[in-house]
Amino acid sequence: MSDTIMKAAALDSEQPANQEQESVLSVNGVKKHYHVKAGMFKPDATVKALDGVSFSLAKGKTLAVVGESGCGKSTLARVLTMIETPTAGELCFDGKDILSLGKDAAKALRQKIQIIFQNPYGSLNPRKKVGTILEEPLVINSDMSKAERKQKALAMLAKVGLRPEHYDRYPHMFSGGQRQRIAIARGLMLDPKVVVADEPVSALDVSVQAQVLNLMMDLQEEMGLSYIFISHDLSVVEHIADEVMVMYLGKAVEYASCEELFANPKHPYTQALLSSTPRLDPAHRREKIKLEGELPSPLNPPQGCAFHARCRYANDRCHKEQPALVRETNAQVACFAREEGRIA
């Protein structure tokens, strides 16, 4: 396989995989480091929650970010929505660098990237009516009159499959699936172009999960939305995503189109993830790859490749050096074993 590997520049300067389509959001080498106190007499430690991530999101497409807890998925969501400022790197929305913008311009741009949170039981204010929740973004960001706001909120309720009488109700009167619909409606009130969905269906039951996923796909078609879909559930990702980025300890280890990743996973971690996902149909089951141990602590990351302690292909080089994402024909993979042709 090594002959098909094309050496590309290091991660930070690399161009995104998808260039032919117009990209809405492109991210280049974004890092987010947190300083934490390690103890009274110890120097501060650094948690590299996000350590150099690059991708580009095309209009109307879905990029799924997959990984286990602690891999930096949610930090990525917070950076993209400008809840957190990245330590380093570039964020471009519609060709404009978000980070260098002034306060007012940033505020205007922020409306175009919205977020849907994981737990609809925690993300809706229990003391506010649905109408108030939906109109709050408009009150802050627009000069619409009260009647216009209500009209827009009602239209949005209809769009997400709720009824007009729900406008005057409180969140506790809804089931989990309906609450997630409200959260989606709130995210869409300002007509965003990019929606960052942070595990939007993981708190929902199977049948409701299917309803919400269908709704998200309908809205995407209708409104031309681009999604960053953060999830740990690979079967959901397989269904909804166009491109997938697999993360491990703050770094992307594999970035490929959805078909390619599921048909032909390349990084040992991706392979293990896919094989550990339970499958209904015996024909879909893969040979189980047992991963020993757990995700290392980001406070004390291992030297070399972050995955080496759990990887069955690891050698001396993996213990010492960090692999960068390398462009292959259909994907980008960060793995020495792959680069050296030790695994197919």
Partner 1 sequence: MSLLEVNNLTVEFGDGDNPFRAVDQVGYSVEKGEIVGIVGESGSGKSVSSLSIMGLIEYPGKVKADTLKFEGQDLLAMSENKRRAITGAEIAMIFQEPMSSLNPCYTVEYQISEALKIHQSGDKKWRRQRVIELLDQVGIPDPESRLKTYPHQLSGGMSQRVMIAMAIACDPKLLIADEPTTALDVTIQAQIVDLLLDLQKQKNMGLVLITHDLALVAEAAHRVIVMYAGQVVETGPAEQIFSKPKHPYTQALLRSLPESSLGKDRLDALPGVVPGAFDRPIGCLLNPRCPYATERCQKEQPTMQGEGVRQVRCFTPLDEAGRPSA
The footprint of partner 1 (CB under 8 A) covers 68-69, 175-177, 205-211, 213-214, 217, 232, 234-236, 238-240, 272-273, 275-281, 284-285, 288, 290-291, 294-295
Minimum distance between the CB of residue 235 and partner 1, rounded to whole angstroms?
4
Residues 6+ apart with CB under 8 A from 110: 81, 82
Q: Which residues of 57-88 are buried (b: 16+ CB within 10 A; e: fewer)?
A: bbebbbbbbbbeebbbbbbbbbbbbbebebbe
Which residue lies nearer to partner 1 by CB, 177 or 304? 177
Q: In what order do the strands lie in the sheet with 226-231?
A: 113-116, 194-198, 226-231, 62-66, 243-248, 251-257, 331-333, 326-327
> In the complex, what is the shortest distance from the CB of residue 69 to partner 1, in angstroms, rounded to a whole number?
6
Backbone angles phi, psi at 65, to 5 degrees: -110, 120
Shorter beta-carbon distance to partner 1: residue 147 or 206: 206
Query: Are the CB atoms for 262 and 274 separated by under 8 Å?
Result: yes
Nearest CB to partner 1, comparing residues 185 and 291: 291
Shortest distance (Å) from residue 239 CB to partner 1: 4
Between 89 and 265, CB nearer to partner 1: 265
Least Cβ distance, residue 267 to partner 1 (angstroms) = 13
Type and span of the H or E element at 36: strand 23-36
We find the least distance from the C-beta atom of residue 150 to partner 1, in angstroms, to be 27
CA distance 6 to 10: 12
Token pair of 39, please? 């103890």
> For the packed helices 146-159 and 176-188, what is the interaxial angle rounded to 10 degrees?
130
CB of 338 to partner 1, least distance (A): 19
DSSP string of 81-149, one letter each residue: TTSS--SEEEEEETTEEGGGS-HHHHHHHHTTEEEE-S-TTTSS-TTS-HHHHHHHHHHHH----HHHH
Q: Quick one: 31 or 239, whose CB is closer to partner 1? A: 239
Matching residue, tokens 């491109």 = 243
* Nearest distance from C-beta of residue 177 to partner 1, angstroms: 6
Q: Which is nearer to partner 1, 62 or 114 (CB)?
A: 62
Choice between 151 and 175, CB closer to partner 1: 175
